[in-house]
Homo-oligomer: A and B are copies of this chain.
Amino acid sequence: MADNSYVHGYSSRESERLADQAQTLTDLLHHDTRYLPGSRVLEAGCGTGAQTVILARNSPGALITSVDISEDSLKHAEEKIREEGIVNVTFRQGDIFRLPFKKGTFDHIFVCFVLEHLAEPERALSRLRPLLKDGGTLTVIEGDHGSAYFHPENGDARRAVQCLVDLQQKMGGNALIGRQLYPLVTGAGYNGVQVSPRMVYVDASKPALVEGFTKLTFTAMVEGVGTEVLDQGLMSQEAWEQGIAALYRTAEPDGVFCYTFFKATARK
């Protein structure tokens, strides 16, 4: 085949790349969360089970209870887990602010990409705390869209990202929550809070991340709120399109993209 076969990609090579990228991010965020066999783990806010699969694979002997407020999401999560042949997860519907468990039920609580959607994230963490045994651990992982910066620098691209932050705020969430984990977890009454930033740095030497993170994860996510941004008049169509183009521009061979996730661990 000619050289351009690489640029356009075979579908098999493409899916291999994406799998590489997913594995890179999984390692970055989850490699240091391993629960002992027999330990009882609560995943609070499992959504459609994207993190549940990783959690369960990394701790195959742990007894995981995954809850979500949405019956619909739970159905998807259950299906995913069944397809993967994972057997150590039980699902249960529930509201994170009043979960149907007795005090001290769990050895560990795991919360990933949940707090960003809540109007009262500290209260959610406070409500979870009694469910932990004394000395039990809490682990929280969140992104932070304000941690995104890139080269070439571009004002429209920055404004486009800010639109995503503003929209999430209007919906009662907080897209800048990653950097706030230390005060949130401390304020909710946990001890020994430690926060570790997990930076995704992408340049042309990392083609799987250029494709899988800069383009297909971050820029696609910003692009996804285009209709709302234009409907609400947050940016002109021209500026928005230039901003999105500038984000894709950072995936060129001389471009660079940076984003940071934050992981907090603490004890009851």
Which residues from chain A sit less than 8 Å from chain B, CB to CB? 144, 146-147, 149-151, 153, 176, 179-180, 182-183, 186-187, 193-197, 199, 201, 203-205, 253-256, 258, 260
Contacts and interface: CB of A to CB of B under 8 A. Distances in A.
A182 B205 contact: yes
Contacts of A196: 201
A149 B147 contact: yes
A260 B204 contact: no
A187 to B, nearest CB: 7
Contact of A201 (B149, B150, B197, B201): B197
Contact of A182 (B146, B153, B193, B204): B204
10 contacts: A146-B153, A150-B179, A153-B176, A182-B204, A183-B203, A183-B256, A186-B204, A197-B199, A199-B260, A258-B260
A38 B215 CA distance: 46
- The listed residue with most B CB atoms (<10 A of its CB), out of A193, A194, A258, is A258
- The listed residue with most B CB atoms (<10 A of its CB), out of A179, A204, A254, is A179
Contacts of A150: 179
Contacts of A254: 183, 186-187
Nearest to A202: B182
Nearest to A148: B149
Given A146-B149, A199-B199, A256 B180 contact: yes
A96 B266 CA distance: 49
Contacts of A183: 151, 203-204, 253-256
A205 B255 CA distance: 35
A132 B221 CA distance: 44
A194 B205 contact: yes
A193 B204 CA distance: 10
Nearest to A197: B201
A193 B206 CA distance: 11
A199 B149 CA distance: 14
A199 to B, nearest CB: 5
Nearest to A180: B151
Given A151-B179, A194-B205, 5 more contacts: A195-B205, A195-B256, A196-B201, A199-B260, A258-B260
Nearest to A192: B205
A187 B176 CA distance: 34
- The listed residue with most B CB atoms (<10 A of its CB), out of A153, A204, A256, is A256
B151 A258 contact: no
A158 to B, nearest CB: 10
Closest 8 CB pairs of A and B: A183-B254, A182-B203, A197-B201, A151-B179, A179-B256, A151-B180, A197-B199, A146-B149
